[in-house]
Amino acid sequence: MEINVITSDATYSHIALVGKLDIAGVGQIENKFLGYTAAGKKNSIVDLSGVTFLGSMGLRILLSAAKSLKQEKKKLILLNPQPLVNEVLEASGIGDVVAIEHDTASAVAQAQA
């Protein structure tokens, strides 16, 4: 599991996750992930195109980050999930708290708004 930082400026952060978000994967990136999203207190884009699996512990950190940001009136935007991951996101009902975007430009526009 890897985290790549694409943008991290005053207005928003944009990171990409790569690998399997299962229990082991989450363990490797949890602190760093929450550092770039929840702790940053700014709109955050998380590119999921490199995530091949999203398990319940993976959903948990996405939800934790989304809820922390929501308290700060900031957004978590999930970008380009693969079809299988998208299915898990849809079934989880997490769509109530996060935006799921399939277009980078519009995700960035939302994050900068």
Partner 1 sequence: MDATPESPTGQPARRSRRPLDQLFGSDEVAATKKRIRSALGRQLFEYVLEQSTDRPKTVTGRLLIVDHDRLNTDILARNLQRDGFAVETEEAGPAALAHLGRGGFDMILWAVDLPTLKGIDMLSKIKRDPALRHLPVVLLAGPQDTDSVVAGIEAGAEDYLRKPFNPALLKARIRACMERKFLRDQEQRLLATIKTQQQRLDEELKEAADYLKSLLPAPLSEPFAVQWCFVPSSELGGDSFGYHWIDDDHFALYLLDVCGHGVGAALLSVAALNVLRSGAMQGLDPRSPQAVLSAMNQAFPMEQQNNRYFTLWYGVYQPSTRKLTYGSGGHPAAILHQPGGPAPKKLLARGMMIGGMPGSRYPEQVCEIPPGSRLFLFSDGAYELTLEDGRSFTLDEFVPLLGTLPTDAPVDLDVLLTQIRALRHGLPLEDDLSLISIEFK
Give the contact letters, 10-49, x = binds to partner 1 (CB under 8 A), - = no.
------------xx--------------------------
To the nearest whole angstrom, how small is the minimum distance from the Cβ of residue 4 to partner 1?
Answer: 21
Q: Which of 71, 84, 106, 109 binds partner 1 (CB under 8 A)?
A: 84
- Closest by CA to 111, choosing from 45, 48, 36, is 45
Residue carrying the six token digits 């299962």: 22
Query: What is the arrangement of strands in the sheet containing 12-21, beginning at the earlier edge strand?
Result: 2-8, 12-21, 43-54, 76-79, 99-101
Greatest Cα pair distance, the chain, in angstroms, is 35
**Residue ranges in contact with partner 1 by CB under 8 A:** 22-23, 52-53, 55-57, 59-60, 63-64, 67, 84, 87, 90-94, 96-97
